[in-house]
Amino acid sequence: MKFEYHVKPTGNDAACGDAEHPFATISKAAQMASPGDTVIVHEGVYREQVDPKRGGLSEHERITYCGAEGEARPVIKGSECVQGWTELADHPHVWTVMLDNTMFGDFNPFATPIFGDWLEMPKFGKDPDKHLGDVYLNGVSFFESTTLEGVYDPQPRDTDEDFALKIPCPVPDVDRTRYVWHAEVDENAGTTTIWANFQGADPNEELVEVSVRRTCFFPSRNHVNYITVRGFEMAQATGDWAPPTSQQWGMIGPNWSYGWIIEDNVLHDAKFSAVSLGKEISSGDNEWTKTERKTGYQYQLEAVFKARRIGWEKGLIGGHIVRNNDIYECGQNAIVGHMGSAFCRIEHNHVHHIALKREFFGWEVAGIKFHAALDTVIANNNIHDCSLGMWMDWQTQGTRISRNVFHANVRDLMIEVSHGPYLVDNNVFASPVMFQNWSQGGAFVNNLICGGIEPHTVPDRSTPYHYPHTTEVAECAVVSGGDERWLNNMFAPQPVKPTVGEYGLSAYSDCPMSMHEYLERQRAMWANPSQGGDEHNPLQSLYAGGNIYLSGAQGLNKQEGAADDSERMQEDAPFFGGTASTSVACDEPMPVTLVEEPDGLYLQCTVPQAVADTRMQVVTSDMLGVPRIVEERYEQPDGSDYVLDTDLLGQALTATERKAGALNGLVSGKNRIRIWEWNN
C-alpha cells in the first residue's frame, strides 16, 4: 500500500503525518517513507539535514519528496538564525556573538579546516586555515578572515573582476569583499565565538544565519536508491572540498546510490558543491594530502579499481537524472561527481555564477565537474558566469555533451586525460576560450564556436579506458593528442581575444592528416630515437571537414579551409568511417551576442550570405569510425547509432544535409533566435 505523508512547519512529529495531521520535519517523514510513498512538503523553512532511511525498489516504486502543489517552494537550509550580537565599542560595524557548541552537534564547520587533494589555496601546512563555516546577512555570504584584525579593517579581496556586479551586496555601494567574519572555537569551554563586520547593518534587526550542517538532503548510507527530490529550494549547506579521491559531499546527493531524480529545484549558496553524484569514502579519503606517500594521480587510479571491488557497475551505481534545476552562487561546483556520475542524464539546468567568490582555489573547480562520466548525457543546459563552465576529467567515454549554451565564462570547456569516444555536438560556445583539450578521441560536430582552442598532450599520466558501456577497465593509456573529428563546426571569432588558444583549428596544424602519415612518424621515431626523444607517442591524426572558418579563424595549415578532406579521410577507414563535406573559408566576421530576456536566452548575429548558403553532410556513427586507442564506436549509450540530423533547438533536418554550426535556422542577414528557455 502506498502512503502520502505531509510535512508543515506547524505540524507535529508525534502526529500520524497525513494531510490533517502533518509532521513538523522532513526528517520524520524520511524515517517513515517506504518504496512507493510520497512525501509532500508544504511551504516554509526547514532547518534540518534530511537523511532518508530507505530508498525505492525500482523506477515504478520510488520514494518521492516534493513541494506542495500551488504553494511556494519549501526551503531546506543548512544554517541557523543567530541573534544576540554585541557591537564592539572601539570598532564600528564589528559585532560579536558567542555560540554554544551544542548547536553544531558532532560537526562544527567553524572548527573544520578546508582540506583535501588538489586544493591549492589554502595549502595544507603552509597557509593559515580557512574553514567550512560561513556567515550570511539577508542570504548573502561573507568572506572569512584568518585574523581578527582583518575583521576590524577589511581590505578589498582579489576576486573576479566583475564580482561586485554579478552577485548581490547586502548594502549598496559597499565592496562586498569587505563583509568578513572570523571565528575562534574553544573546545574546553564548549563555545564558538564569531566576529563579523556588517558594514553598518544591525545584525539583530536583519536576518543573520551561520553554517551548521554539511548537507540538506543526503543519505548517510550508500545504496539508498530510487529517490526523487522535486520542487525545493536548498541553501547554505557547507559540504566540503570535493576532489575525486575523497568522499564527495553535496548540498544534495545520492551518496553512492542508483536511480535518483533531482529536478525542478533552486539550489544556491553551497559553500562547495550543490549536487554531488560522486564517490563514497572507502575508496579514498584524501590520502595524498594526508600522507604524501604516493601522488594524487596514483591514489585516483587506485580509487577506480577499489570502486570496482565494491560494486561500481551499471545498474548499481549512477543512473541519475538531474534536470530543470537553477543552481548558482556555489564555491566549487554546481554539480560534481566521480564514478557515481556514470550513466546519468544532466538536462536543462541553469548553472551560473559558480566559483567567482574565490575564497579558496584548487584543481576541481567548474560549473559541472565529472570524472568517469561513462555513457552520461549532458544536454540543453545554460552554463554561464563560471570560472570554468564544464570540466570532464578521466574516462570521458561514451559521453555526449549536446545542445548546451556556454557564455560569459572564463573558459567554457575542458576535457582531460580521456581517450574517447565522446561526442560534443550542437552546442553554442560563446566565451573567449572555448576549449582546453588535454585528451584524445573526441568528436566535435555542428557547434558554434566563438572562442579559442588550446590542445595539449599528456605523456606522463596513463589513465583508464573501459569496455563499451560498462565500468570494466580494459587498459590504461597516455594522451598523445589528436585522434579527433572536427566536422561541420562554425568558427566565428569575436572581438574579445582569447587568453589562451587560437581561433579555428590552427593549433592542431602539427597533427598528421591520415593514419598513414601517423604510422610513418611513429616508425621514424622508433628507428631514430634521437629525432623524437624518449617519447614514442607522436601526435595522432586529426580529421576535419565541413567546417566554416569566418574572419579571424584558421583551418589546419595543410587544409586551408577548403582542402581535399575527403581523400585523406577515406584512406583512414575504419578509423574514420566515411567522407566528410569540404570546409569553407569566409573572410567576413559574424559578431554573436547573447541577450537574456524574461522568456529565455536569445542569440543575435548577422550571418554572411556565403555562410547561410552552405550545406554539409549529416554526420552519423558510421561516418565517425572509432578512436584509435579505445576502439569503441561513437554511439548512444544503448548502442544505437548517432544520426545528427537535428540542431540545438531540436529542429528536424533533411536526412542528408544541414548547415554547419548549431543552428540550422540561421538566414543571411540579421538573426534573433531564442536558444534556451527558462524553467517555468
239-288 pLDDT tens trace:
999 999 999 999 999 999 999 999 999 999 999 999 999 999 999 999 99
SS3 state of residue 111: coil
Query: Is 367 a member of any domain?
Result: yes
- Of 185, 211, 237, which residue is a domain's last? 211
Output b/e per residue, 493-502; b: 16+ Cβ within 10 A.
bbeeebeebb
Question: Are residues 321 and 179 part of one domain?
Answer: no
**Ramachandran sector of residue 504 (left: φ over 0; alpha: ψ -120 to 50; beta: rest):** left
| CB contact at 8 A, 318 and 257 | no
- Give the residue from 376, 394, 412 where a domain finishes: 394
Give yes or no: residues 540 and 420 share one domain.
yes
* pLDDT at position 176: 84
**Cβ count near 474 (within 10 Å):** 17
Whether residues 534 and 598 share a domain: the answer is yes
pLDDT at site 160: 59
pLDDT at residue 523, as a whole number: 84
157/124 same-domain check = yes
Parallel, antiparallel, or unpaired for β 361-362 and 119-121? antiparallel
Q: Which residue has the cell 535556422?
A: 665
Say which residues have a Cβ less than 8 Å from residue 371's Cβ, sequence separation at least 6: 244, 300, 337, 338, 339, 341, 393, 394, 395
pLDDT of residue 557: 65
What is the total residue count of the chain?
680
Q: Helix or strand or coil: residue 569? A: helix
Residues 509 and 545 in one domain: yes
Q: Model-level pTM? A: 0.95
CA pair distance 219, 210, nearest whole angstrom = 23
Residues 656 and 583 in one domain: yes
pLDDT digits (tens, 9 = 90+) for 536-593: 678 999 999 999 999 999 988 644 444 444 445 555 555 666 678 888 999 999 999 9
Give the gyration radius of the chain's Cα atoms: 26
Q: Are residues 83 and 192 in the same domain?
A: yes
Cell of 30: 524520511
Tell me the three-class secondary structure of 418-439, residue by residue.
Answer: CCCCEEEECCEECCCEEEEEEC
Structural domain contains residue 217 = no
Does residue 152 belong to any structural domain of this protein? yes
Question: Cβ(75)–Cβ(44) under 8 Å?
Answer: yes
98-107 exposure pattern, b = at least 16 Cβ within 10 A, e = fewer: ebebeebeee
Question: For position 485, what pLDDT does the model report?
Answer: 95
If DSSP codes are grouped into helix, strand and coil, which group holds residue 85? coil
Please tell me whether residue 474 adopts helix, strand or coil conformation.
strand
Per DSSP, helices labelled H in 310-448 are: none
In a domain, 220, yes or no: no
Cα-flanking dihedrals φ and ψ of residue 484, to 5°?
-125, 160
Q: Report if residue 670 sits inside a domain.
A: yes
Domain that holds residue 516: 395-676
End-of-domain residue from the set 394, 422, 441: 394
Q: What is the pLDDT of residue 571?
A: 52
- Angstrom CA distances, 553 to 424, 478, 556, 590, stand at 20, 30, 10, 11
- Cα dihedral: 354, 358, 363, 367 (round 10): 0
CATH number at residue 142: 2.60.40.1180
* 327 in Cβ contact with 268 (< 8 Å): yes
Flag whether 12 is in a domain.
yes
CATH number of the domain where residue 614 is located: 2.160.20.10
**Which helix (H) or strand (E) covers residue 328, if one does?**
strand 326-330
373 lies in the same domain as 417: no
In a domain, 167, yes or no: yes
Shared-domain flag, residues 422 and 372: no
Total structural domains in the chain? 4
Shared-domain flag, residues 271 and 406: no
Longest dimension (CA), the chain: 83
Please indicate, yes or no, if residue 221 is contained in any of the structural domains. Answer: no
* Residue 256 and residue 384 in one domain: yes
Examine the domain organization and report whether 461 and 542 are in the same domain: yes
For residue 622, which phi and psi values (nearest 5 degrees)? -60, -35
Is the Cβ–Cβ distance between 446 and 662 less than 8 Å?
Answer: yes
Which stretches of the chain drop beneath a pLDDT of 70? 158-174, 529-536, 557-578, 680
pLDDT value, residue 534: 42
Q: Tell me, what's the pLDDT at 575? A: 61
pLDDT for 162: 52
